[in-house]
């Protein structure tokens, strides 16, 4: 890879654009989402402004539209070369980042914007939570306290799912995970039929496993199926703060549900909630971030760098 020297004399495989410069890269494009739609897309304890959508996510959707269009053109050219008509397969976008960094919101916004472009209206979003092993399996393996770590996922099933998508299988199904009950929902699936674009969101989607994933498809990784990948980044201190804030919000909302796996936390005081959330962060999420998630950041094609207010301050785009 050719690396260009920066103004500080260092080399980087990325072009770094400050927010103001990035915002200029979708000239003439109207923001298609209403304020009500934007409000519905924002996450827990994460405000999402119309300005953020227009200045950050609209240019990103334009870039992804250009890349998807180029992929569709390449498919047509290949058909001409082969003298036959083969089925177009979905363009797959991987989305990675820490717990509480806001990648789920980013994925939802990108899905909403991309679906408004006329050449790929069917955009599906899959989270890798559905490919976690069920709780009873995690308990049998003795890794319930490592839920979210790479070994807690049925990576073979996820790879087969992605391989089916890229093989042109017309209907593909994925398991469904419930954050309320903190487990896979038995006999429930999300079905994808002939999608134009599929966004795959998860904390470890860019990781390179050292173990053979499947017997049928050896020596492949989840990210091998991605056409484009995005990493949502922020300072560790900010992510920790956002995690604590989210935990407290959930204590007053979802945890109040009698069916919630975490209903035991519903009556915690602010101090107790902070203490427990901090312990969970340090023992699980921070450890997973440093060991498994953060090391994959520079495998991404694009990095969204957030500031303390959850707004993207810089965009790092890998050079082509």
Domains of the chain from N-terminus onward: 4-318 (3.40.50.300)
Q: Which tens digits make up the pLDDT trace of 232-261?
A: 999 999 999 999 999 999 999 999 999 999
CB 239 within 8 A of CB 289: yes
Q: With beta carbons less than 8 A apart as the criterion, state whether 149 and 143 touch.
A: yes
pLDDT digit string (tens) for 67-117? Answer: 999 998 999 999 899 988 888 899 999 999 999 999 999 999 999 999 999
Band of the pLDDT at 290, cuts 50, 70, 90?
very high
**Cβ atoms of residues 198 and 226 within 8 Å:** no
* Per-residue model confidence as pLDDT tens digits over 132-147: 999 999 999 999 999 9
Angle, nearest 10°, between helix axes 236-252 and 270-280?
130
Q: What is the structure's pLDDT at 215?
A: 56
31, 101, 177, 263 from 256: Cα distances, Å: 37, 24, 19, 6
Phi and psi at 173, nearest 5°, equal -120, 145
Spatial distance between the Cα atoms of 114 and 108, rounded to a whole number of angstroms: 10
Q: Are 229 and 301 in contact (CB under 8 A)?
A: yes
Does residue 211 carry a pLDDT above 90? no
CA distance 246 to 123: 28
Rounded distance, CA 222 to CA 260, Å? 31
Structure tokens that stand for 216 in this block: 């049928």
Residue 210 has pLDDT above 60, yes or no: no
pLDDT, mean of residues 172-200: 96
The SS3 of residue 126 is strand
Model pLDDT, residue 162: 97
Q: How far apart are the first and last CA of the chain?
A: 9
């Amino acid at each position: 890879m050719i690396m260009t020297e920066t103004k500080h004399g260092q080399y980087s495989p990325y072009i770094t654009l400050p927010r103001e410069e990035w915002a200029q890269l979708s000239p003439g494009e109207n923001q298609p989402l209403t304020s009500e739609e934007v409000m519905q897309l924002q996450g827990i304890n994460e405000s999402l402004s119309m300005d953020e959508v227009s200045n950050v996510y609209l240019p990103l959707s334009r870039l992804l539209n250009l890349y998807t269009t180029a992929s569709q053109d390449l498919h047509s050219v290949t058909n001409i070369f082969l003298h036959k008509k083969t089925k177009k397969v979905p363009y797959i976008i991987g989305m990675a980042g820490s717990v509480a960094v806001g990648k789920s919101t980013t994925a939802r916004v990108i899905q909403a914007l991309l679906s408004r472009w006329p050449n790929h209206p069917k955009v599906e979003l899959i989270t890798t939570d559905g490919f976690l092993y069920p709780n009873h399996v995690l308990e049998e393996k003795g890794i319930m306290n490592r839920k979210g770590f790479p070994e807690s996922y049925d990576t073979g099933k996820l790879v087969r799912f992605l391989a089916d998508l890229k093989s042109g299988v017309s209907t593909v199904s994925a398991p469904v995970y419930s954050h309320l009950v903190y487990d896979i929902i038995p006999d429930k699936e999300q079905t994808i039929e002939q999608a134009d674009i599929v966004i795959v969101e998860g904390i470890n989607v860019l990781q390179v496993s050292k173990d053979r994933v499947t017997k049928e498809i050896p020596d492949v990784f989840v990210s091998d199926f991605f056409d484009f990948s995005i990493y949502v980044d922020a300072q560790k201190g900010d992510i920790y703060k956002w995690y604590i804030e989210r935990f407290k919000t959930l204590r007053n909302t979802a945890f109040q549900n009698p069916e919630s796996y975490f209903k035991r936390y519903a009556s915690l005081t602010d101090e107790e909630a902070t203490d427990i959330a901090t312990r969970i962060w340090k023992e699980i999420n921070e450890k997973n971030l440093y060991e498994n998630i953060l090391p994959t950041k520079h495998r991404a094609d694009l990095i969204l760098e957030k500031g303390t207010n959850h707004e993207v301050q810089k965009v790092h785009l890998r050079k082509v």
